[in-house]
Amino acid sequence: MVLVGGCHCGAIRYEVRGEPIAHALCHCRDCRRHAGAPMVGWAMYPADAVKVTQGEPKLYKSSEHGRRYFCPDCGTGLFYTNDDVFPGIIDVQSATFDDPEAVPAQAHIQVAERIKWMGRAHELPAFDRFPPRE
């Protein structure tokens, strides 16, 4: 299987070969604050399975060993590596796949740091678009 993806503006494109080692929705504080989102989906691959085919992501050191890669033009988060905890592994921000349905998430991780109301997010009212106006 080959999946392709990229950032919002299109400056950075990548391709990924093979099945992910895992695909998890991360609730840790670092992911949340870097993405500006309540959780972030990560598909984990061997580092050599992922190839940037266009553009050059910018590197941000988000912790002592954590490295986050994002598009310097539009800010989309793309990859994460941590040579201390996950040597030889790269995490791909799975919502940046052109087909984000291709690899379903398998688990929630780092829920010890989850925003409390996110634990019941699936119970919230849902609308195809927006709530009806009064």
For residues 3 and 6, which CB has a smaller minimum distance to Zn ion in the complex? 6
Cα-flanking dihedrals φ and ψ of residue 35, to 5°? -85, -20
Q: Does 28 sit near Zn ion (CB under 5 A)? A: yes
On the 0-12 / 13-18 / 19+ scale of CB atoms within 10 A, 58 is middle
Q: Using the rule CB under 5 A, is 118 a contact of Zn ion?
A: no
| Min separation Cβ 127 and Zn ion, Å | 28
Residues in contact with Zn ion, counted by CB under 5 A, come to a total of: 9
Best CA proximity match to 91, nearest among 40, 132, 130, 29: 40
Judge contact between 61 and 69, C-beta under 8 A: no
Q: Which burial class, exposed, middle or buried, applies to 24 when counting CB atoms under 10 A from its CB (0-12, 13-18, 19+)?
A: buried
Q: Is residue 7 within the footprint of Zn ion (CB under 5 A)?
A: yes
Q: What residues pair up with 18 in beta bridges, in sequence order?
A: none
Q: Which stretch binds Zn ion (CB under 5 A): 16-24, 25-33, 59-67, 100-108?
A: 25-33
Q: Which stretch binds Zn ion (CB under 5 A): 5-13, 17-25, 88-96, 124-132?
A: 5-13
Q: Could you say which of 71, 90, 92, 103 contacts Zn ion (CB under 5 A)?
A: 71
Contact criterion met (CB below 8 Å) for 49 and 31:
no
Q: How far is the CB of 106 from Zn ion (least distance, A)?
A: 15
Residues that bind Zn ion (CB under 5 A): 7, 9, 11, 26, 28, 31, 71, 73-74
